[in-house]
Amino acid sequence: MQIRKFGTLALLGGVFFAFGAQAYETAARNAILMDYETGEYMFEKNIEEAVPPASMSKLMTVYILMSKIKDGSIKLDDTFSVSENAWKKGGAATGGSTMFLSIGDNVSVENIIKGIVIQSGNDACIVVAENISGSEEEFADLMNKTAQELGLKNSSFANSTGLPHPDQKMSMEDLAILSRHIIQEFPDLYHYFKEKEFKYNNIKQGNRNPLLYTMEGADGLKTGHTEEAGFCLAASAVQGNRRLIEVMSGMESNKERSEESERLMNWGFREFKNYKMFEKGQIVASADVWYGKAPTVDLAVADDVVKTIHRSQTDNIQTTAEFDEPIKAPIKAGTPIGTLKIEIEGQRDIEIPLVAAKSVQKVGLWGRFWTNIKYFFFGAK
């Protein structure tokens, strides 16, 4: 294995800043701040702990519904019927949030979406579960299957609403990943999350997301509150060309939720920036070739490499190319050859695939003969 260290890396068009240990505290019991573009975490506090997610788990219900709309099996103007069970379990009599649906209503899917993301209607979630899977129990199985497909490692679902249940758990990391999927996969539907009010059955309710009213660029996603979970929020905001996603739980009041979520989001926008470290196709190393018509092959990064880095702390960025050589020809352009490891103090290491920049053809029989002779007398070089 060849290991080649390049030392401090020069930023494309500027200077790199590395993120050291940051003294940031939050009253939330669990919290994460993620950069949407890079998927990197700027702040972590108990992010893998599976905790009651309250109504933030409605994001999975919405994700499944929007997936059905995207694949064409459900349309926005389709209607869902409201059963007595949905009305009873999700109605105002239970003490939870509700869309105020009536038994026997045939409600458009578009209104159901608004009833969930704006009004946090438990009744609307049960309607989705029953109309897609037949029962809430079957829909919970679909939620768990979807969580596995999305790589959510610390989530389990027992209902579509987020109402308290021993098996209804999610981690802040999983909620951030799910939020990112919703934004990425449903750009034509995501706008519902930023609507501030919705009226159904002559009852108008406002969106409970505090950042929609106080923060520039805030456009989603979902609040939550139960006695066990505390006050919770999954939120996203865009400023300039950056989007951040944060998820917080375990706050003691609506006021604390509003203040803590805005403070963490502002900190992320202020203290961090995204830098392009490598461009797609940029050559970073070369490797010796065995039996090739060219003696070496250039190794390049397969895609643009963008990294979220703290603005204020300058430090070295250590880059290391790792690969086995010599590489036996023939070599096809784009073939994975090795790995570029990037180490920044205070942040998780990242590994970038290195690929062959060009094809290298294999020499003929006579060429292989002379290669073997040279190797016998002079070694690999």
Domain range 2-14+277-378, CATH class: mainly beta
Q: Omega into 330 within 30° of 0, i.e. cis?
A: yes
Mean pLDDT of the chain: 88
pLDDT (mean) for 24-33: 96
CB 295 within 8 A of CB 287: no
The Cα–Cα gap between 180 and 275 comes to 20
Tokens of 81: 């019927």
Q: Give the per-residue pLDDT at 314.
A: 45
Residue numbers annotated as active site = 55, 58, 120
Q: Give the per-residue pLDDT at 379.
A: 55
The Cα–Cα gap between 336 and 340 comes to 11
Q: Give the per-residue pLDDT at 282.
A: 93
For residues 139-154, one letter each, b for 16 or more C-beta atoms within 10 angstroms of the residue's C-beta and e for the rest, the string is bbebbbebbeebebeb
Question: Within its chain, how far is the Cα of 51 from the centroid?
Answer: 19
CB 248 within 8 A of CB 261: yes
Count of helices and strands (H, E) across the chain:
9, 18
In the chain, where does DSSP find H-type helix? 58-70, 84-90, 109-117, 122-133, 136-149, 172-185, 211-214, 254-271, 365-378
> pLDDT-derived band of residue 316, with 50, 70 and 90 as boundaries?
low
Tokens of 308: 């979220």
- Residues 52-102 have pLDDT tens digits of 999 999 999 999 999 999 999 999 999 999 999 999 999 876 778 999 999
CB 222 within 8 A of CB 207: no
Q: Give the per-residue pLDDT at 21.
A: 38
- Residues 253-286 have pLDDT tens digits of 999 999 999 999 999 999 999 988 899 999 998 8
Tell me which of 154-158, 266-270, 308-312 is least confident. 308-312
| Domain extent listing, the chain | 2-14+277-378, 46-209
Check pLDDT > 50 for residue 120.
yes
- Residues 337-362 have pLDDT tens digits of 999 988 877 677 888 899 999 998 88
Provide the CATH number for the domain formed by 46-209 in this structure: 3.40.710.10
Q: Is the dihedral of CA 243, 30, 120, 89 positive or negative?
A: positive
The Cα–Cα gap between 355 and 47 comes to 34
Tell me which of 28-42, 47-61, 206-220, 346-360 is least confident. 346-360
Q: Give the per-residue pLDDT at 348.
A: 74
